[in-house]
Structure 1
Amino acid sequence: MNLFSEAMAWLFSPERLQGPYALQTLLGQHLFYTVISVLIAAAIAFPAGWLIGHTGKGREIAVAISGAARAVPSFGLLVLLVLVLGVVRTPLAAIITFVLLAIPSLLAGAYTGLEAIDRRVVDAARAMGMTEWQIFTKVELRLGLPLLVGGLRSALLQVIATVTIGAYVNLGGLGWPIIQGIPLRRFDQVLGGAILVAVLALLVDLLLALAQKAAVPSGVRAQHPVSESSSPSSRARRAASVPA
């Protein structure tokens, strides 16, 4: 029996659904830390990104902050915060780490979504007498939504992958079978845990890819067919990965 078959046998064993480390419990923990962290990061990054995109000011500062946050190693920061805040505040340390990881992609998605809009559209809305708030809510926010969803997509995938290391500090989640299985040399368990994380990431990516496609206004989609190289997803990922 090869390793993959052993991993499948481990995954579908009835024991995996029992006890404090049941797979459904670990999945719930993984999703909880992912959703909470991304929501907090979005509450910080979206308003800042929208302000930068609407006014055209502060982009350099945002890029510098995003680059600095992206350069910090997540695992090292997590361990450092656990040591500084104390073991009893491990969840707080983990959430801070994941929030800092999610902010760059969300921030880039927010301001590049507004920057990508044809300025003639905004000028036309302003010439019609729309206020700045109306321009933002009725024009910029709607047209910039695909890139915003692209930034959210990138952030969620990064956080889902990084929450895995939270098991190292006893946070739980789908990384627990991996962290526990390595010292025990239970490679079937390690591979099974890795498969679970990969499947979760693929499902989330698929759902957000559909949401991103649906976010493109029908009129824009009809007039400008989106190629792979110029799609909102591609542009959002380039903005999230390139500091300048």
Structure 2
Amino acid sequence: MAVEKQQIGSVWTRPRRGREQPALTREQIVAEAVGLLDSEGMEALTMRQLGARLNAGATSLYRHVANRDELIELVVDEVYGEIRVPEIADPADWRTATETCAESMRAMILRHPWMASTLGQVGLSYLGPNVMRLNDGLVGLFEAGGFPAAEAGDAISAVMSYVVGMGISEAAWLALLARTGQTEQELIDQLRPAAEEAAKDYPRFQQDDWDMNPTERRDRKFRYGLDRVLDGLNARRG
């Protein structure tokens, strides 16, 4: 008896439905979903809530996306379209261009803090058109920068893994800030006594940058790690 193969549940693995409600498009749904996520977070994203924001019933949304998981795939691909990958003609420009792309990706994650809880469970995100364009641009950048074709993918993965890891940590922190309603400096000032008390018996864990601007502190930490990753990769260029 033949066993019917189960279809992979992803918006990128099924044909887009031909009949679309004229008053509502997939693009409108995705744009509104991004707005909802930015303002209220991942917990607020339901088909019912999104339909209310669009003045449409949940049934109307299902004409365009099969379920919430497909919607998340679409919004993730949408915000990946914000990332800039410069093109270069001179291999010597590789590092500056890669820094620009890394900063662009970090900025995207921080604009959309809900990404912190999403990137690890987003399904087949790599099949989305914006992610495909991003990856194609990165391969072109790294090959133009002198990386062997067989090594470019691993080099790109090293940079992107660092950016995503740091970005997720920052986004989680910013999401906490949003929930408290405090500024970053206010929350740090509030936490400082408890943190100093907890570290008093651990001199190697003393923090000496409490008075530094918190945004500048996060920028410095991100840039330090990125520079070390790029230092290592730079030695691999042809």
- Is the pair's TM-score, using the shorter chain for normalization, greater than 0.5? no
Higher helix share: 1
Q: TM-score, normalising length from structure 1?
A: 0.30
Query: Which structure has more RCO (C-alpha within 8 Å, separation ≥ 6)?
Result: 1
Q: TM-score, normalising length from structure 2?
A: 0.31
